[in-house]
Chains A and B, each alone.
Chain A
Amino acid sequence: MFYAFGAVAVVTSLLVIAQRNPIHSVLLLIASFGALSGLYVLLDAPFAAVIQIIVYAGAIMVLFLFVVMLLNAPHEETEFDERTHPLLRKGAMRLGALLAVVLITELIWALRKGGESGAFPSGSVTSVGAIGRSLFTEYAFPFEVTSILILVAMVGAVVLARKESH
Chain B
Amino acid sequence: MRWCWRERNRTDVPTLNHYLVLSAVLFAIGTAGVFVRRNLITILLSIEIMLNAVNLTFVAFGRALGSADGQIIVFFVMTVAAAEAAVGLAIVISLFRHQESLNPDSFTALRW
Of all chain B residues, the one with the shortest Cβ separation from A94 is B36
Question: A108-B21, A118-B15, A142-B76 are contacts. A156–B90 as well, Cβ < 8 Å?
Answer: yes
Name the prevailing secondary structure of the B interface residues. helix
- What is the size category of the interface that chain B forms with chain A? 35 or more
- Add 18 more A-B contacts to A139-B72, A161-B89 (CB < 8 A): A2-B18, A9-B22, A10-B26, A36-B52, A43-B62, A48-B59, A64-B45, A67-B93, A71-B92, A74-B101, A96-B32, A100-B35, A120-B63, A120-B64, A149-B80, A153-B82, A157-B89, A158-B90
Contact between A43 and B63, CB atoms less than 8 A apart = yes
Nearest chain B residue, comparing its CB with the CB of A115: B17
- By a beta-carbon cutoff of 8 Å, the part of chain B in contact with chain A is 13-22, 24-39, 41-42, 44-46, 48-49, 52, 55-56, 59-60, 62-64, 66, 68-72, 74-76, 78-87, 89-94, 96-97, 101-103, 105
Residues of A124-166 at the interface with B, using a CB-CB cut-off of 8 Å, are 126, 130-131, 134-135, 139, 142, 146, 149-150, 152-154, 156-158, 160-161, 163
Known contacts A10-B25, A160-B90, A39 near B37 by CB under 8 Å: no
B20 contacts which chain A residues (CB < 8 A)?
Answer: 111
Bound-state CA distance A3–B21 (Å) is 12
Which of B30, B84, B94 lies in contact with A153, CB distance below 8 A?
B84
Residues of chain A at the chain B interface (Cβ within 8 Å): 2-3, 6, 9-10, 13-14, 16-17, 22, 25-26, 29, 32-33, 36, 39-40, 42-45, 47-48, 51-52, 55-56, 59-60, 63-64, 67-68, 70-71, 73-78, 86-87, 92-93, 95-97, 99-101, 103-104, 107-108, 111-112, 116-121, 123, 126, 130-131, 134-135, 139, 142, 146, 149-150, 152-154, 156-158, 160-161, 163
Q: Is the CB of A92 within 8 A of B89?
A: no
On whether A60 and B17 interact (CB within 8 A), knowing A45-B70, A73-B41, A131-B68, the answer reads no
Residues of chain A contacted by B39 (CB below 8 angstroms): 22, 73, 75-76
Residues on A with C-beta less than 8 A from B75 are 48, 51, 131, 135
A66 to chain B minimum Cβ distance, whole angstroms, is: 9
Min Cβ gap A85→B in Å is 11
Judging by beta carbons under 8 Å apart, are B17 and A154 in contact? no
* B residues near A42, Cβ cutoff 8 Å: 14
User: A134 and B79: CB pair below 8 A?
Assistant: no
Q: How distant is B94 from chain A, measured CB to nearest CB, in Å?
A: 5
